[in-house]
Amino acid sequence: MHPLVLLAKATIEEYVKTHKVLTLSTEFTEEMRQAGVPTHQRNGVFVSIKKHGNLRGCIGTFLPTTNTVAEEIIQNAISAATQDPRFAPIDVAELNDITYSVDVLSTPQKIKDLAELDHKKYGVIVSKGYRKGLLLPDLEGVNSVSEQLQIAKYKAQISIDDEDVEIHRFSVRRYK
């Protein structure tokens, strides 16, 4: 398991068992550095949790809100496990049945043409006014840019037929 995923797993297990936020140890930070992990960079991060292959929680930030990728993972791992509105918080009995992935996002880039999108390579952010919807790239069951945009619009509560939206794309480094 990749060190970033180990951090997400350790964070969730600690929080679910003790309700305490994991303290990032020097040793673990060094392990991540040795693995070439950009722990001191600032990036948006998504933490995804699956139980028996089905989504069980996914929360993230498309722009960084903390000082490091490691801190972003800790914050978003706890949120994915306890605050995803689609699911009840994870409990101790589930910990042996879940798997984790961590997506580190590039800085979003505004696109001018839909031809700049590729649902396998890029995630999308659609926005109109204060409403925003995000969808990660290369998701099972999402087979086209059109589907990707429809889901992102749905998440943002923007009409699927509304073409007057701002679209940004981003790439991810996905760790499992």
Last residue of a domain, one of 105, 136, 151: 105
User: Per-residue pLDDT tens for 16-35?
Assistant: 999 999 987 655 555 555 55
Closest by CA position to 163, among listed 141, 146, 142, 140: 146
| Same domain as 12, residue 91 | yes
> Average pLDDT of 36-50?
80
Q: Determine the distance from the C-alpha atom of residue 17 to the mean position of all C-alpha atoms in its chain, rounded to a whole number.
A: 23
Question: Residue 69's pLDDT is what?
Answer: 85
Q: What is the CATH number of the domain that holds 43?
A: 3.30.700.20
| Same domain as 150, residue 81 | no
Closest by CA position to 80, among listed 60, 110, 64, 96: 60
Closest by CA position to 5, among listed 40, 61, 49: 49
> Average pLDDT of 45-54?
97
- Residue 51: domain span: 3-105
With the C-alpha atoms ordered 162, 147, 44, 98, is the resulting torsion angle positive or negative? positive
| Same domain as 39, residue 125 | no
| Same domain as 71, residue 123 | no
> Average pLDDT of 51-63?
96
> Average pLDDT of 81-88?
97
| Same domain as 74, residue 114 | no
Average pLDDT, the chain: 91
Question: Residue 120's pLDDT is what?
Answer: 98
> Average pLDDT of 116-131?
98
Last residue of a domain, one of 79, 105, 131: 105
Give the total number of structural domains in the chain. Answer: 2
With b for 16 or more beta-carbon neighbours within 10 A and e for fewer, the 40-77 pattern comes to eebbbbbbbbeeeeeebbbbbbbebeeebbbbbbbbbb
User: Per-residue pLDDT tens for 95-114?
Assistant: 999 999 999 999 999 999 99
Question: Residue 84's pLDDT is what?
Answer: 97
